[in-house]
Amino acid sequence: MAGKKTRRQARPTRGSLVAIAGFLIVSGVLRVAIGASEVLAREQESTLAETPPLQDATASCTPPPDIQAVLTALAEREARIEAKESALRDRMHALRIADDRVSEKLQQLTAAEDALSETIALAESASENDLTQLTTVYEAMKPKEAAALFEEMEPEFAAGFLSRMSAEAAAGVLAGLSPQTAYSISVVIAGRNALVPTQ
């Protein structure tokens, strides 16, 4: 009986020891966890304080030499292309200005040509009117008096008037001319249409 009582008293003592040991272990684990979290928090704060801002880190980042050479070549090529594009834009602008000036000059030339054509037409009309009037005057003159005037004219000039006159008036003038002058005028009149094709 006495032995049974001793065993029963030992069991509760052993259970208390296990419980106390469990509490101590849990307490130690909690202390370690709290200490570790404080240490981690301090390390994070010191790391954040020591780490420079992101912009500074990227600004101070330099690429390797081979990549830097490629980047430099690309930048130079882009600068050359931009320069060529700018020169091309300037040239196109100059060509547009030159084209506008040429168009303006062509319009001025066309206007001047039209004005000149009108002037020539007026002059030709006036000249034709003068020739018609003179021809009418020569036809109205007596053949002897007209022949005296035609004797003083160049054969080409006289032939022009005689060819415009009526056949009867021209025959009267030619009859009053010297044979040599009448022959020269006749040759000029006949030679005007000698090279005209007959067929």
CA 148 vs CA 95, 141, 143, 158, 178: distances in Å: 67, 11, 9, 12, 10
Token pair listed for 75: 């930048």
Lowest mean pLDDT among 14-28, 87-101, 179-193: 14-28
Cα–Cα distance for residue pair 171/191, rounded to 1 Å: 18
Q: pLDDT by residue (tens digit) across 85-97?
A: 999 999 999 999 9
Per-residue DSSP letter, 64: -
Q: pLDDT by residue (tens digit) across 18-50?
A: 777 777 787 777 777 777 677 666 767 666 555
Taking the whole predicted model, whether its pTM rises above 0.85 is answered as no
Q: What is the mean pLDDT of residues 46-58?
A: 56
Helices (H), 51-140: 54-60, 65-140
Encode 137-166 in three state secondary structure: HHHHCCHHHHHHHHHHCCHHHHHHHHHHCC
Q: What is the mean pLDDT of residues 123-147?
A: 87
